[in-house]
Structure 1
């Protein structure tokens, strides 16, 4: 068994080069989702006809708990004598977003470990017959477990989620009198 020796040759082969690409992709995956911020705006006309449209804005971001993002008018502006904090976006997508970011972090850590193995312990990896099989078996187990989980989530074995919320849960009411 030999110690740590840097050998960059595996990075020139597909096995190492793909791990570098996966490592970079995982950084972009958790950075773009974890740091995302956005907003949506609606224009409001109050009856009787007002000459100027007013805008209310709802800002949101990771982890996408939209049901906590309330609409806000510009500071110091009263629009139609309405408390806009009572109106929020519909949906809570935090579970999916957090799963995505967590999975990207795990891929990041796995790629670092694999690159250390390929670059630092190339001789150990190439001389051992059991180590590649253990790694392949472990990854195969994760792949099968992930597939089984998604099959479970997409079938009737798992209770379907309610994707639309009624008005009583904080959604914007439909226009009346039109």
Structure 2
């Protein structure tokens, strides 16, 4: 049940995210303008318009401008791994509850389980690291420096651009934490799954035999 909950928290905390940063422009004549940077899952920022159509800002004509960056591949990979783990844990739960006798009587079930668990641990490590990097790219693209490099208007000396209100990314940070937590949970489960395989049984049974072959010291 733990695997289901941690997987749900992982993809649920980032899958439906939507946020908005507010950018304030201080023009050379002292007037102020405001822009909204709206972004959401799956964070294809290059398709999110910052300025729509030809607009006039600070007495200058500005064409349609989009945010920079695309973190869709990393976050969709992350969510995909979380969903696969959720479905696999549900199937495994059904097997353990209804077909445990078949699972223990066969070598295939435990061996298959430990191999899949090892693969999932690796996938959690990769996708969590990729999404952590993708999330940092989203933060960089939507902060003051990122907006300033995106808007040509902000590159001149007469206009000052600054993000004055940031969207809360707490749930996105939590999703990364749950990604690594899932890796640890599945890794710890791998040990218990390994103990059900014949590999562990052979290791245990060979220890007394090895001890019996030790030579007994000769009597003095």
Same fold, TM-score > 0.5, yes or no: yes
Displacement of 1:109 in angstroms is 0.6
**Structure label with greater radius of gyration:** 2
Superposed counterparts of 1:119-158, under 5 Å: 119-140=97-118, 142=119, 146=123
Match of 1:118 in 2: 96
Map 1:70-149 to 2 at 5 A.
70-72=49-51, 79-81=57-59, 86-140=64-118, 142=119, 146=123
For structure 1, the residue ranges without an aligned partner over 5 or more in a row are 1-19, 155-162
Structure 1 vs Structure 2 CA RMSD: 3.4
Q: 8 Å contact 2:51–2:66 — kept in the other structure?
A: no
**Per the alignment, in what secondary structure is the counterpart of residue 71 of structure 1?**
strand
- Distance in 2 (CA, whole Å) between partners of 1:21 and 1:144 is 15
Secondary structure at the aligned position of 1:113 is classed as helix
> How many residues were matched structurally?
139
Residues 71 and 84 of structure 1 are in contact (CA less than 8 Å); yes or no, is this contact kept in structure 2? no
State TM-score, norm by structure 2: 0.52
In structure 2, the residue matched to 1:14 is none
Q: Verify: 1:176 aligned to 2:140, yes or no.
A: no
- TM-score using structure 1 length: 0.63
The 1-side partners of 2:88 and 2:77 are apart by: 16
Contact 1:60 1:69 in 2 (8 A): yes
Instruction: List runs of 5+ in structure 2 lacking aligned partners.
Output: 131-136, 159-220
